[in-house]
Every structure is written in C-alpha cells, then in structure tokens.
A and B are shown apart, each in its own frame.
Chain A
C-alpha cells in the first residue's frame, strides 16, 4: 500500500520548477561550503551576499537560506529543518520582490557580525521557523514555528520554544528559555551541569550522523 508512485511525479515536477527559479535568482557571490555539509534536495540558497556553511551542517529539504540583504554564516553542525527560513529580511517579504531593490555590495568578512546572520556551532533551527537574528550562540535550539526578529542576539544553549515570537533586537543571555506566552527563564539545569551540555552536543553529533545516513546529499549542486 505504498504511495510511492503516487507522489513521485509531484516530487519530480517540483524539482524542475525550483531549479528553474533558482537559476533566475542571483547566486551568492561567494559561497563557502565545507565538503562535509549535507544539503538535501530542494534546499534553497539564494541571495547575493556570501553564504558560509561550516563543516557537518545539515540543510533539510525546502529550507531557505537567503543572503539577499545580508550575509549568512552557518557554524559547524548547524541543522536547519524543512520550511525554515534563515537570513535577514526573509520573514517580511518575498525574497524575489526585494532582490531588485537591494544593491549587492561586495561582502567583506569584517562586516559579517554587524549585519548578517551568524548561527553558532550546533544550532538547531526547527521546522517552519523564521530566523532573521544577528547571532545565535552555540547549542541553541529554535523550535517549530518560532519567529526571531532582526538584530536579535541569542546566547549559548538557549531554547526558543515552539511558536514563540522574539521581537527585533532582543538580546537573550546564555541558557535562556523562552516559553509559553513569551515568558522567560534561565535553564539552571544545563547551566549548572557542563556535562549535560556535553551530552547535548554529543547527541546532536549523532543526530547529524543519522541524517547523513538517511537524507540524500545534494551538496554538489551548490559546490560545483
């Protein structure tokens, strides 16, 4: 009773459509992608500013990385799930419509931290999120449907729980948990136990391992 044949044509068609569209878009002027990165099919990387992806990062199908307005840096082991959108300006408008108005400037490495999106090591960006943050620290998790406004600086090992919305320019100290109706607390458990942080990182590494087993890699499309 598999629906495999049923869905395949739709998938094929989808591929072609996306490829066509991507080819219209300006390719990032400089894309630094580590060879160990896993980029699934249908993941989209657009924009004219540089996109840097560190080793062992995982980009799931249908996630979008946009450097249309500012550069994007994904650290080592960053995982971005399906339908997540990362990049300044990706949340409030269609990237295509903004493309023309933005003058591509030669991306300089020094300005990365100032006006761009930097995701630290082992950051997890869950399904259907919109991340325009300036910086997200190591080991932080942005859960499903969360929206993180421009200029947000999020510390290490933070958790932005599902459906939370962070207004622009929010600064969160390390180990913050945003939950419920925008309540905040400090995760003393993780803070007090470095071994828990370590365990979390280890689990993350294993998660990436299984992604590499299960998700077909399409990284060549972007590196070649």
Chain B
C-alpha cells in the first residue's frame, strides 16, 4: 500500500518516503516490518530500532514456529499520524507471562507524539499529543494518556498510568505538574505563517500538531 516512492531514485536522501507520507530513515533498524503500521506522515529517524518481530503469538495459535507470514500478520507496533521518533530510540513491545507462557502485547502510539532522542519505550499505549523528552525510559505496560509531557532523563516504572495533562519526570517518574490549558496550542494564529520563509520560530510546539515538524524533516 505504501510503496516507497524514492526507492529506485538514485539521489538518496536520508529518508524513504512512503505514499502516505511516512518518512523512514535509511539508517533505522526495523525488524518484523510486517507487524508495524505507521499512520502516515510519521518520521522514523536514524538509529531507531523498531522491534516489530516481537509480536503477539496468541491469536495465531502455536503454529508460529518459524514461518508465521502465511497467517494474518499480527500487529506489534502501531504508530499514529504525524508522530516523530527521534534518533537512537528503541521501541519494543512489552511482554509478560500469562497462563504459563510469555506473550508479547501490541503497542500503540497515538498521533502527534514526539519521542526525543535515545529513548527506550515499552509502554502498552501512548496517546496523542505526548511529548517524550530525550533519554527517557518507559518500562513495560505503562499507559500514557493524552497531553502528557515527560521530562528528559525520566524513568517511567512498569505499569504506571500517567493521567492526561500531567508533566512527569524523575527516576522513578512521578507527576510533577500539569501542562496547563495552553498545551499544544500553537499560539499567535500560527496556522501557516509562522516559521515559513525565514520566520523566526519553530512552527510547532510541544504537544501540538507536528505536521510542520514532519514537513521540515528531510
């Protein structure tokens, strides 16, 4: 569906752009690509590891010994639209033991999520408009709701639920504040004018619409 448009083009840029506008770095490391869905206009930067091979096995019975490709491919990582995964980050679905066997669980990342550089993420779900600071570690089965800001160098413990609108930080992370009403609102009527053509400001704000940021990544 999303065949890379620039696959054969000789002047290779850093990113391969799919039909739906996803930009995937040539230097990213993705395993189990069949189990990964990208929502469109999503950026996967260099050195990002997506562990799509660690997919749920329960639905496809026990026939999955080595060739599970014939079955309906299970989704292990699904990432929404306009989400940016920065360099050096690792996305790894969480696993746990249940009924005597280890199972991987599908991980969901929403729209307009920004993941900073060198993060390691095993959350079960990250909702939309979440900003994850650099070097953050999110342990398995954490749930991160909408409009959350995670400060850099945080460690989110396993199974933690972060309510929407929180600012969290620390090792282990705790809620340290609220993002406030203006979170994600790019003020100044920024629709368009800002940042374009030598405008001073970055045209996106944390937690806001990341379309401009995605557009600027080449």
Interface flag for B137 (CB, 8 Å) = yes
Interchain CB contact under 8 A, B31 and A209: no
Q: Is the interface of A mostly helix, strand, loop or mixed?
A: loop
CB of B64 within 8 A of chain A? yes
For A9, A14, A41, A179, the residue with the greatest tally of chain B CB atoms inside 10 Å of its CB is A9
CB distance from B44 to the nearest CB of A (A): 8
**Stretch from B48-56, B189-197, B198-206 contacting the other chain:** B48-56
On whether A1 and B37 interact (CB within 8 A), knowing A13-B26, A144-B120, A163-B155, the answer reads yes
Whether A7 contacts B28 by the Cβ 8 Å rule is: yes
The interface residues of chain A lying within 8 Å CB-to-CB of B139 are 162
A13-B26, A162-B139, A163-B153 known; A3 vs B102 contact (CB < 8 Å):
no
A135 interface residue, CB < 8 Å from B?
no
Contact of B38 with A by CB under 8 A: yes
Interchain CB contact under 8 A, A213 and B26? no
Determine which of A6, A145, A179 lies in contact with B16 in the assembled complex, contact meaning CB atoms within 8 Å. A6
Q: Which residues of B contact A215 (CB under 8 A)?
A: 31, 53-54
* Interchain CB contact under 8 A, B7 and A82: no
Bound together, the chains give a CA A215 to CA B35 distance in angstroms of: 13
Q: Is A210 engaged at the interface, CB distance under 8 Å to the other chain?
A: yes
Q: A6-B2, A213-B64 are in contact. Are A11 and B29 (CB under 8 A)?
A: yes
Contact of A3 with B25 at beta-carbon distance under 8 Å, contacts A82-B49, A127-B120 already known: no
Contacts of A10 in B (CB 8 A): 16, 24-28, 30
Contact of B137 among A3, A4, A145 (CB under 8 A): A145
Number of chain A residues whose Cβ lies closer than 8 Å to a Cβ of chain B: 42
Query: How far is it, in angstroms, between the C-alpha of A2 and the C-alpha of B26 when the chains are bound?
Result: 17
In the bound complex, CA of A4 to CA of B49 (Å): 14
- Taking CB atoms and an 8 Å cut-off, the chain B residues in 2-19 that contact chain A are 2-4, 7, 16, 18
Q: Mark B132-161, 1 if CB is under 8 A from A, else 0.
A: 000101010000000000000101000000
Residue of B44, B118, B137 with most chain A CB atoms under a 10 A cut-off: B137
CA distance A203 to B99 in the complex (A): 11
Q: Which of A1, A40, A161, A181 contacts B2 (CB 8 A)?
A: A1
Contact B102 A5 (CB under 8 A): no
Q: Which of A127, A181, A210 contacts B92 (CB 8 A)?
A: A127
Contact A206 B16 (CB under 8 A): no
CB-defined contacts of A9 to chain B, threshold 8 Å: 4, 7, 16, 26
Which of B3, B29, B37, B65 interacts with A62 by CB under 8 Å?
Answer: B29
**A159 CA / B153 CA spacing, docked (Å):** 19
Alpha-carbon distance between A7 and B18 when the two chains are bound, in angstroms:
10
Residue on A nearest B30 in the bound complex, by CB: A7
| Binary CB contact string for chain A from 161 to 192 against chain B (1 if under 8 A, 0 otherwise) | 11100000000000000011100000000000
Contact with B along A41-84 (1 / 0, CB 8 A): 11000000000000000000110000000000000000001110
Q: Within 8 Å CB of B103, what residues of A?
A: 210
Any chain B CB within 8 A of the CB of A207?
A: yes
Which of B65, B90, B171 is the one whose CB lies under 8 Å from A83? B90
Q: Does B183 contact A (CB under 8 A)?
A: no
Quick check: A206 and B97 within 8 Å, CB to CB?
Answer: yes
Q: Is A122 an interface residue (CB 8 A)?
A: no
Taken together as a complex, chains A and B put the C-alpha atoms of A10 and B47 apart, in Å, by 11
- Measured CB to CB, the closest approach of chain A to B151, in angstroms, equals 13
Q: Does B164 contact A (CB under 8 A)?
A: no
Residues of B at the A interface (CB closer than 8 Å) are: 1-4, 7, 16, 18, 20, 22, 24-34, 36-40, 44, 49-51, 53-55, 57, 64-66, 73, 88, 90, 92, 95, 97, 100-104, 118, 120, 135, 137, 139, 153, 155, 171-172
Interface of A with B (CB < 8 Å)? 1-11, 13-14, 40-42, 61-62, 81-83, 126-128, 143-145, 161-163, 179-181, 203, 206-207, 209-210, 213-216
Between-chain CB contacts (< 8 Å), 30 pairs: A1-B2, A2-B34, A2-B37, A3-B36, A3-B37, A4-B36, A5-B4, A7-B30, A9-B26, A10-B25, A11-B30, A11-B31, A11-B33, A41-B31, A61-B29, A82-B49, A82-B51, A126-B120, A127-B120, A128-B118, A145-B120, A162-B120, A162-B137, A207-B102, A209-B102, A213-B57, A214-B53, A214-B64, A214-B104, A216-B66
